[in-house]
């Protein structure tokens, strides 16, 4: 059995949920090769929270993106989902150009920026012309093809 000592790394503390509150804590990402996926997410600079093995049939690895209240997990004995079937996993970023450049510098293939336009809305090359929050995207995939979106949010909608 192995595990990562999360106490040695900075974690964000938050108040316990109030009655009726629900917080999305972990999203499972189906992968075919646990160690390859672990190396990929480590390479993104995400915090490794745990790598826990119980026997030959169960292993869970969990990572948290910097600043995120939600983590991802993958491993063995967790899910029957096909590797690469997670799509549209969104990462909110304040500066999409900087986030994209950081990923590229880490060896990740990231799409050119695009925005949504038209009726019905579809992807159009380039950032949103007005640089409105929630409108500019970039995309990348992990080694199994799980699809991630970067979404630029510089100003949150009311209530968020």
Q: What angle do CA 88, 133, 24 make, to 5 degrees?
A: 45
pTM of the model as a whole: 0.86
Residue 50 in contact with residue 6, Cβ under 8 Å? yes
pLDDT the model gives residue 77:
95
pLDDT digits (tens, 9 = 90+) for 33-46: 999 999 999 999 99
CA distance 51 to 130: 43
Region 24-83: CATH code: 3.10.180.10
3-state secondary structure of 3: coil
Distance, in Å, from the CA atom of 67 to the CA atom of 18, rounded to the nearest integer, reads: 22
Report the pLDDT averaged over residues 85-109.
Answer: 98
- The answer to whether the 24-83 and 87-160 domains have the same CATH topology is yes
Give tens-digit pLDDT for 57-85.
999 999 999 999 999 999 999 999 999 99
CATH number of 87-160: 3.10.180.10
Name the pLDDT band for 99 (thresholds 50, 70, 90). very high
Domain coordinates in residue numbering, the chain: 24-83, 87-160
Residue 26 C-beta-side C-alpha neighbours within 13 Å: 13
């Amino acid at each position: 059995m192995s595990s990562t000592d999360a106490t040695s790394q900075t974690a964000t503390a938050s108040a316990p949920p109030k009655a009726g509150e629900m917080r999305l804590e972990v999203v499972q990402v189906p992968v075919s090769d646990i160690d390859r996926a672990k190396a990929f997410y480590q390479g993104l600079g995400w915090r490794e929270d745990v790598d826990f093995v119980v026997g030959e049939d169960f292993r869970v690895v969990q990572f948290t993106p910097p600043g995120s209240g939600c983590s991802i997990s993958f491993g063995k004995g967790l899910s029957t989902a096909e590797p690469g079937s997670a799509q549209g996993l969104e990462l909110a970023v304040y500066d999409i150009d900087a986030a994209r450049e950081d990923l590229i510098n880490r060896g990740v293939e990231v799409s050119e920026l695009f925005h949504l336009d038209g009726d019905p809305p579809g992807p159009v090359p380039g950032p949103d012309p007005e640089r409105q929050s929630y409108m500019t995207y970039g995309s990348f995939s992990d080694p199994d093809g799980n699809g991630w979106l970067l979404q630029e949010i510089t100003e949150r909608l009311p209530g968020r």
